[in-house]
Amino acid sequence: MQNNSSILALFILIFSVQVCIPVVAQKKSNMKDQTPNEVRAKKILSKLSLEDKCGEMTQLAIDVTLNGEPYNPVEPQSFDMEKLREVLIDLRVGSILNVAAHAYTRERWYEVMDTIQTIATKEKKNSIPVLYGIDAIHGANYTVGATLMPQQIGLAATWNPELARLSGEVSAYETRASAIPWTFSPVLDMGRDQRWPRLWETFGEDVHLASEMGVAMIDGFQGDDIGDKYHVAACMKHFLGYSIPWSGKDRSPAYIPERQLREYFVPTFQKATDAGAATLMICSGEVNGIPVHANPALLKDLLRTEMGFKGLAVSDWDDLIYLVNRHRVATDMKDAIRIAVNAGMDMAMVPMDTQFPILLKELVQEGKVPMERIDEAVTRILIAKIELGLFEQPFYPMSDYPDFASEKHTQISYEAAAESVVLLKNKNNSLPINTSQKVLVTGPTANSMQCLNGGWSGTWQGNNTDYDNKDKKTILQAIQDKLGAENVIYTQGTSFDKTQNLQAVTKAAEGVETIIVCIGEMSYTETPGNIDDLNLPDAQIELVKTAAATGKKVIVIMAAGRPRIVRELEPNADAFLMSLLPGNEGGRAIADIIVGEINPSGKMPYTYPRYANALMTYDHKGTDLPKYDFSMDNFDPQWEFGYGQSYTKFAYSNLKIINQTLSKDDSIEISVDVKNIGNRAGKEVVQLFITDKVASVTPSVKRLRAFEKINLKVGEIKTITFNLPISDLKFIGIDNQWIIEPGDFEVTISNLKSDFEVIN
Ligand code: BGC
């Protein structure tokens, strides 16, 4: 044992040095600090054999237990009871995940869960219930007929944390109503690379906005007690550094200096940890040459010792074998298991390979994985199961959930969708349009639920129309409802990348006043969403130009997971709406915005680039700006983070800072008046940015430090007051620690600016 711990210590030291994160001694837990759930977990643990423990640490995909092959179940699906018993009784597997191939009905979910939990708790010797996990990332998206909410990027565009909370609450309710207690959500990776195919799964590019949204969504998922029948355990993911791969491609290497890692990528996870997120998923990628699954400096020293996360850490899909065949840091699966478990992984999402518990047991017997590490991991898993109430009642009767897909939930989804749409251009008040006219609707995203819902909707890629909820409306159908089908002509014009019939578009435009061109992307996620070119395919640019050439009013709707470049087509649009995967009610919300029943209030959660080679975030550095002519004003995005118009106008005045000289322990009070000076009620997001004028580490040009969404009637004026602790102005200093430096700061709210000073 002695020997093993010194090898482990050396191993930790080597990895820590490589990512430059200082090793901090592990805190010893004190018996009397233990929570009742921890005491209960340890009692259960004391009765478990090594086989039981290795089984508890295993998570398999449901495929492994079904008739048919992994990824290819026999339909209609059914358990192969022999395989299921082998998994649950012989291997003692503690967790199962996912759907095989496609969404299940609620009835099927109940059958699945009943069969699994009955065997686990009645036939298996240790009687420990199974922890079932699912990607319910925008509603219970793997349950037929569930309420599908906007994806995270859409929620971020609402700038309304209450909608993120409600969205989490609806998702939790409908996930439990599908007999499942654990969701792999939210994504707390920062959406700071516009090429990455999972950008839309994030809350966008800003740390503050993403932190507020993440905490709110977790609150909705977990409520006060994850053990009640309406809440689930959240799983913040993917820790850490997944979202800015060097190549822009999913699951490819990231290179993130420790300062950036700490300043931009840790805070969302820290805030969620402080807010009590129950579980965490480890990042599939490698950061600075070290796969995260093999990095104790991140998984132990940073996550546990520094950040204080106590919950269970599950691997991502197949990431152990990837240590062998992709990252090449392990010689074989057994070596990979040794590395990942010792690095701090508690549960392995293997997900189709049943060797994990067998090989892990051998590793323990050979002294290559210490028993303390196993006990630590299994204790965390048992605590999650206890907190979720699985030992008392693994799931509740279906009849306990009358609100599944109810009008109430649909309304929440609609409100979130309506606030998520961003009006980016509105030349001569082209929008809203009057309803007594004929319109032409065209484009590849016009008549598709996939382009509103995105990936993880019915199926993994979200691209199978069989799982569309037939009552829900595409953009085209919702416009037909508003204007009357006889007033809406539809011709698709082009597919996503191939022109079909532009003459038909020109011809159809003859009898209409307005052309609504719906462009964008098909649904995708992860590796299948990788692209080589952020430019929008030519076929779609041509479609917009064809529409403009008719001389009719052109409204462009971009429905996409990431900002495909529109520089060339944008001048052809009279109005431009951004649809950020608003979910099942998105079509209705967009149609209501087009006719003016809803006043748009979404703001961009990321910076929309103008050129594919000029990908920047709003909070770039001063030196990010040099132009070919030596000027320093080369930040010229199509639309900046935070931007979004309304059908009304807001005037800002009276920016006041109560005390303009403050010390580091003070809070600063900043107030501003906002007035609705237009002729419609509207919602506005008051955004407070602060610029650190001089700092020992080059400061960003500005950072969002606070925001508030308000509702103003015509002529109404509100005074908004922000109370900001000066400690929020901290940054990661030269020695890679958070510091606050005295000096001058500038506040910007809308077009107003004011200064203050922080003294020692
Ligand atoms: C994804 C995770 C997801 C997991 C389980 C992985 O491929 O990266 O985000 O939670 O699969 O479905």
Q: Return d(Cα 342, Cα 366) in angstroms, integer.
A: 14
576: Cβ below 6 Å to ligand 1?
no
For 479-489, the pLDDT digits (tens) are 999 999 999 99
Q: Hey, which bits of 246-356 come out as E strands? A: 279-282, 286-287, 290-291, 312-314, 348-349
Instruction: Provide the sign of the torsion angle of the four alpha carbons 501, 503, 509, 511, taken in this order.
Output: negative
251: Cβ below 6 Å to ligand 1?
no
Where along the chain do its domains lie? 4-23+52-395, 407-624, 650-759
Position 32 scores a pLDDT of 65
Query: What is the amino acid identity at position 375?
Result: D
Atom of ligand 1 nearest to the CA of 238: 9
The stretches of 79-206 forming alpha helices (DSSP H) are 81-85, 106-118, 152-158, 161-176
- 186: which residues sit within 8 A by CB, 6+ positions away? 137, 152, 168, 203, 213, 214, 217, 218, 221, 234, 236, 237, 272
DSSP H or E segment with residue 725: strand 717-725
Q: Is the pLDDT of residue 174 over 50?
A: yes
Position 31 scores a pLDDT of 57
Position 627 scores a pLDDT of 84
Q: Hey, which bits of 609-648 come out as E strands? A: none
Position 20 scores a pLDDT of 40
For 666-682, the pLDDT digits (tens) are 999 999 999 999 999 99
Atom of ligand 1 nearest to the CA of 187: 9
Nearest 5°: the CA angle 264, 530, 139 is: 70
Q: Which residue among 131, 142, 184 is best mutated to probe the pocket of ligand 1, counting the most ligand atoms within 8 A of its Cβ? A: 184
The tokens of 492 are what? 């698709």
Q: Return d(Cα 329, Cα 233) in angstroms, integer.
A: 32
For 339-351, the pLDDT digits (tens) are 999 999 999 999 9
Nearest to 647 by CA among 610, 621, 684: 684
Q: Determine the distance separating the centroid of ligand 1 and the alpha carbon of 707, expressed in angstroms.
A: 31
Q: Determine the distance separating the centroid of ligand 1 and the alpha carbon of 2, expressed in angstroms.
A: 37
For 258-283, the pLDDT digits (tens) are 999 999 999 999 999 999 999 999 99
Q: Which fold has domain 407-624?
A: Rossmann fold (3.40.50)
- 6: which residues sit within 8 A by CB, 6+ positions away? none
CA 499 to chain centre: 33
Atom of ligand 1 nearest to the CA of 284: 8
Nearest to 688 by CA among 711, 669, 712: 669
322: Cβ below 6 Å to ligand 1?
no
Q: Return d(Cα 205, Cα 199) in angstroms, integer.
A: 9
Average pLDDT over residues 638-654: 98
Phi-psi region of 646 (alpha: psi -120 to 50; beta: other; left: phi over 0): beta
Question: Which range has the worst mean pLDDT, 93-102, 103-112, 541-550, 624-633?
Answer: 624-633
Nearest to 603 by CA among 158, 151, 203: 158
Query: pLDDT band at residue 161, thresholds of 50, 70 and 90?
Result: very high
For 548-594, the pLDDT digits (tens) are 999 999 999 999 999 999 999 999 999 999 999 999 999 999 999 99
> Please, are residues 205 and 191 in contact by the beta-carbon 8 Å criterion?
yes
Q: Output phi, psi for 306, to 5 deg.
A: -80, -50
Q: Return d(Cα 709, Cα 711) in angstroms, integer.
A: 7
Query: pLDDT band at residue 384, thresholds of 50, 70 and 90?
Result: very high
Q: Is the pLDDT of residue 634 over 90?
A: no
For 176-193, the pLDDT digits (tens) are 999 999 999 999 999 999
For 287-313, the pLDDT digits (tens) are 999 999 999 999 999 999 999 999 999
562: Cβ below 6 Å to ligand 1?
no
Q: Which fold has domain 650-759?
A: Immunoglobulin-like (2.60.40)
Q: Return d(Cα 563, Cα 196) in angstroms, integer.
A: 10
pTM: 0.95
Q: Determine the distance separating the centroid of ligand 1 and the alpha carbon of 564, expressed in angstroms.
A: 24
**278-296 CB burial, b ≥16 within 10 A, e <16:** bbbbbbbbbbbebbbbbbb
Are 4-23+52-395 and 650-759 equal in CATH topology?
A: no
Q: Is the pLDDT of residue 625 over 80?
A: yes
Mean pLDDT score of the chain: 95
CA 176 to chain centre: 20
Position 17 scores a pLDDT of 37
Q: Is the pLDDT of residue 207 over 60?
A: yes
Q: Which fold has domain 4-23+52-395?
A: TIM Barrel (3.20.20)
> Please, are residues 710 and 683 in contact by the beta-carbon 8 Å criterion?
yes
Catalytic residue check, 316 = yes
Q: Return d(Cα 575, Cα 556) in angstroms, integer.
A: 6
